[in-house]
Amino acid sequence: MAARAFLSALFLLIFCGSALAQTLRVAVISDLNGSYGATHYSPRVAAAVERIIALVPDLVISTGDMVAGQRRPVLSELEVRAMWDAFHYAVTGPLSSAGIPLVVTPGNHDASAYGGFEEERAIFAEQWRARKPILDYIDDGDYPFFYVFEISGVRFASLDATTLGPLRGDQINRLSKAMKGAGTAVTFSHLPLWPFAQNREREIIGDPALEALYHKLDVDLHLSGHHHAFYPGWKDGVAYVSQACLGGGTRVLIGDTVRSERSFTVLEFDTEGLDSVQAYTGPDFREQLDQTSLPPQVISPNATLKRLDLVN
């Protein structure tokens, strides 16, 4: 009996250990910046980072706009570097000390690809190449702009989307190659593929070719920022999750009447893929947002996104 109990316990240890190794928790933050050129962050950013650390995610993703550039007159190099110093003090440093990797994608206020902001873009690249986390990269030749990595069986791709319209350069071709054969596939970018927020309906990627590639590759999820409103949407087999902001400028979802609460998102993946999407809000980010309070659909001329919990 003792031997049988030992073998049963050993089986459970091996089986459960394997199952646990296949689970993945990812926190997503977005749009933390304040006013133009700001070198300080709201106390809620510190509160959000503290709460994220307490949740012990395996990974944190930023979907852009970590600092407040991209205006004229263009900030000096010293001013841009001061903003990044402030961000690292408030966000990067605490996460690093907790042993939690942070991966980023450029926002328009971080690294705009429009003309005139080349120095901001160069500083963005320098800042994050010096802080590149140790991960299993499939394509990292253009880190921290377009790159692909895998963790716990989930493959992630950062898309360089800081300008309106289809992705620039050869990102579509590279995405097609790097994501081929992925089990669970996730992309993340600053601009969304489809609109979420009022008065930002045109500030999207809006590329049918990218959507078609998602279907071809069986992409499960696209994470985005820029619209400053949380919404877990779904369209034709792909989940599209828009992040709320942690900085200034909360916005109203299309079809809603109230501003989105500031929050960060937590994703849970299991062996079958994406298992849950939750937004944490409140003064200490301990409250899970009631998703039934969100519109059942976000409808625009570009797309109709159904709320994820309503998908059969």
Q: What is the mean pLDDT of residues 172-197?
A: 97
Tokens, residue 3: 């031997």
Our separate counts of H helices and E strands in the chain read 8, 15
**Distance of alpha carbon 245 from alpha carbon 47, whole angstroms:** 14
pLDDT given for residue 281 in this prediction: 98
State both tokens at 235: 């369209």
pLDDT in tens, 277-310: 999 999 999 999 999 999 999 999 999 999 999 9
Nearest-angstrom CA–CA distance, 97 and 53: 10
Segment 154-181, tens digit of pLDDT = 999 999 999 999 999 999 999 999 999 9
Give the pTM: 0.92
Give the H or E element holding residue 172: helix 171-178
Q: What angle do CA 119, 120, 122 make, to 5 degrees?
A: 60
What is the SS3 assignment for 208? helix
What's the pLDDT at 5?
A: 42
Look at residue 207 in the predicted model and tell me its pLDDT.
Answer: 97
**Six-digit token pair at 36?**
């133009």
Q: Is the pLDDT of residue 15 over 50?
A: no
Sheet holding 102-104, edge to edge: 102-104, 59-62, 24-29, 264-270, 273-281, 287-288
- Per residue in 45-73, pLDDT (tens digit) is 999 999 999 999 999 999 999 999 998 88
Kindly report, residue by residue over 81-98, the tens digit of the pLDDT: 999 999 999 999 999 999
**pLDDT at position 228 over 90:** yes
Specify whether the CB–CB gap between 102 and 145 falls below 8 A.
no
The pLDDT score that the predictor gives to residue 22 is: 59
What mean pLDDT do residues 5-20 have?
A: 39
Quick one: pLDDT at residue 86? Answer: 97
Residue range 191-209: mean pLDDT, rounded = 97
Give the model's pLDDT for residue 104: 98
Q: How far apart are CA 181 and CA 55, in angstroms?
A: 31
Asked if pLDDT for residue 1 goes beyond 90, the answer is no
19-28, 115-124, 195-204, range with the lowest pLDDT? 19-28
Inter-CA distances, 66 with 25, 92, 124, 273, Å: 22, 11, 10, 28
Question: Residue 11's pLDDT band (boundaries 50, 70, 90)?
Answer: very low
Using CA atoms, how far residue 105 sits from 70, 110, 199, in Å, is 16, 9, 23
pLDDT at position 37 is 86
Architecture of domain 24-271+279-286+295-310: 4-Layer Sandwich (3.60)
Euclidean distance between CA atoms 308 and 289, whole angstroms: 14
Rounded CA-CA distance 18/141 in Å is 32
> pLDDT value at position 72?
83
**Contact call for residues 30 and 246 (beta carbons, < 8 A):** yes
Provide mean pLDDT across the span 118-138: 98
CB atoms within 10 A of CB 97: 9
| 263 has pLDDT over 80 | yes
Whether residue 73 has a cis bond before it, omega within 30° of 0: yes
Domain layout of the chain by residue ranges? 24-271+279-286+295-310
So what's the pLDDT on residue 20?
Answer: 39
Give me 264's structure tokens: 């960060």
- The pLDDT > 70 percentage for the chain reads 93
Residue 28 pLDDT exceeds 60: yes
Helix axes 77-87, 118-129, angle to 10 degrees: 40
